Structure 1
């Protein structure tokens, strides 16, 4: 089957042919129709993650190996299924849940495969992803019907959507008028703004270094916006929200943004760390204790959370992040990754099969 793989760290994606896997059990083979491009694809293509003072962690340390077939925001049609699968090949479109665990650890047993402690099988990381004509999925349970949703937008729910949904769940407070900040309003942050609004929160502060991104956040439901290029971004966020934050969701998560978020939290506030931009957390440890602050990491979301999000999207008029559609070809994979790296794309690029 045809794939668009990154052969080595820093190299451009190129077209290649891989053998079609043999299907057993309830495995399925999905023809990719829509494949979103995520910032984490950029990190993986570079070949490392920034670990701050600990240096750069090569992707191989996370169980990955070049060549990599990236892309984990996948919508497609089943074209073949194993002997035990109940799903039949046909034109129905499915969102593919990509965050697949070992299936044996305690987290997997509780349907928290994104928190797997064993040998993970994430699509686009350990297994081939959606920058391809077809993608192998190790069980039909990871398919969620798209229904009447726009398939390009539905594809983004598998990463930017479920990541935002899970992070918002961690950040929400019963006090709907207390400010919650969303730091970084690219594709994933925009989803968080929209979901905070959809889930009833009334005080949403969007913070970013880009005025265009803040305009998108305002359209998605932010009640206040902050350009974080001033001398006191923490103070500017507090002022915009009308008081210290109940929580902050950091979709950048570098040394600057994490310190900014912590500095804006009120007593008992929570920082939800999501982004993978890297750096080192620097904040007075005494204040963490005195203000009873909480820091919680968020890696994408679980299969049940994605199902909840899809049902919410089908039943609620969720604001959709801007989508730019491009052909699913090697050149467009490279152009999309470059645009994300250079911050010249607003919203999400989705590659569409011809």
Structure 2
């Protein structure tokens, strides 16, 4: 089995050849057909998050991310073998040869949070590609067949990003669904932003104004159906947002998550509005504290999504025939190149490794 592993933070990925694992217990072995390269992978690769205000960066090593680690949490592949303890009921109709999306946001499986179906919020995460090996490989093991969703003919290359960028944006959109009768504002026109535009339309939303500092990405957002695209660095960005909306802005989704986007997102909201923070770019909160109660604004974090939401999302993709976001297929051997291109902001849409 060939894989590309983080063997040291901020160092090139290491190509590793080792025996293909055999599934034991409830595990499932899949042959990887697609592995999306996500912005979160950059943080894993770099080893942490910038917390701003001169604070010590949040270390992933201190949070239990051990090396070496095979990244890749947006994975889809063909089922090769089931572990000996997997029952027919647990397979849920899946069989060898089926192509499935891997749900990666796995928890301990036994706590109240996991049992309630919110494994992504477990305090003892075992997320694939983060705490356990993921899809930057030609094979990977999945702990249990319940974490596999049959693609039923969907293209694994264009569908793989739904495991993170897709369910992340879907879950964030659901948090502002009551405001879909008005334009919402979305910060970031990368893979998540373009995904959000497609999903918003399928979910019945009026539309979104997209903010991005990259002209190419603003053009991509307009091509994907954005009502307007605003340069976040423009001196009159706030006025442009108000004019484009034509009414009070009640909902903002920040897919970037830096002080500038958080501030502009907060400022453009009307009283009683909601700011959903998704992006992990880093930095410290910029808001003047008295204005939070004065504006009665809700600031809510949104972290990926649960398995139920992922299944809902794939059903939505099938029934609404949602067009895929732009993807750039790259061979597994180009994993380092894909990360560098993403780091430099050179990708429109999503790079997807194809072992």
TM-score w.r.t. length of structure 2: 0.95
1:229 corresponding residue in structure 2: 233
Q: CA deviation at 1:30?
A: 1.0
1:241 is the counterpart of 2:210:
no
1:341 is the counterpart of 2:343:
yes
2:117 corresponding residue in structure 1: 111
Q: CA separation in 2, counterparts of 1:282 and 1:34?
A: 38
Q: CA separation in 2, counterparts of 1:67 and 1:140?
A: 25
2:12 corresponding residue in structure 1: 12
1:214 corresponding residue in structure 2: 218
1:101 is the counterpart of 2:103:
no
Q: CA separation in 2, counterparts of 1:303 and 1:109?
A: 12
Match of 1:272 among 270, 273, 276: 276
Gaps of 5+ in 2: none
Note closer, same or farther for the CA distance 1:163–1:17 as it changes in structure 2 (3 Å cut). same
The alignment's C-alpha RMSD in Å is 1.5
1:171 is the counterpart of 2:172:
no
1:203 corresponding residue in structure 2: 207
1:183 corresponding residue in structure 2: 187
Q: CA separation in 2, counterparts of 1:175 and 1:275?
A: 21
Q: CA separation in 1, counterparts of 2:149 and 2:84?
A: 20
Q: CA deviation at 1:317?
A: 2.0
1:134 corresponding residue in structure 2: 139
Q: CA separation in 2, counterparts of 1:44 and 1:309?
A: 26
Q: CA separation in 2, counterparts of 1:105 and 1:244?
A: 42
Deviations 1:292-344 (A, max 9, x none): 10011011110000000000111112132101111112xx1000000011011
Q: Number of aligned residue pairs: give it.
A: 349
Q: CA separation in 2, counterparts of 1:163 and 1:175?
A: 18
Q: CA deviation at 1:221?
A: 2.1
Q: CA separation in 2, counterparts of 1:80 and 1:194?
A: 35
1:151 is the counterpart of 2:156:
yes
Q: CA deviation at 1:234?
A: 2.6
Q: CA deviation at 1:102?
A: 0.8
SS in 1 for 2:113: helix
TM-score w.r.t. length of structure 1: 0.95
SS in 1 for 2:129: coil
SS in 1 for 2:221: helix
Q: CA separation in 2, counterparts of 1:150 and 1:20?
A: 25
Deviations 1:246-286 (A, max 9, x none): 11100111111001100001111111100110011111222
Q: CA deviation at 1:215?
A: 1.7
SS in 2 for 1:141: helix
SS in 1 for 2:335: helix
Structure 1, 216-225 or 188-197: larger mean CA deviation = 216-225
Note closer, same or farther for the CA distance 1:115–1:57 as it changes in structure 2 (3 Å cut). same
Structure 1, 342-351 or 144-153: larger mean CA deviation = 144-153
2:330 corresponding residue in structure 1: 326
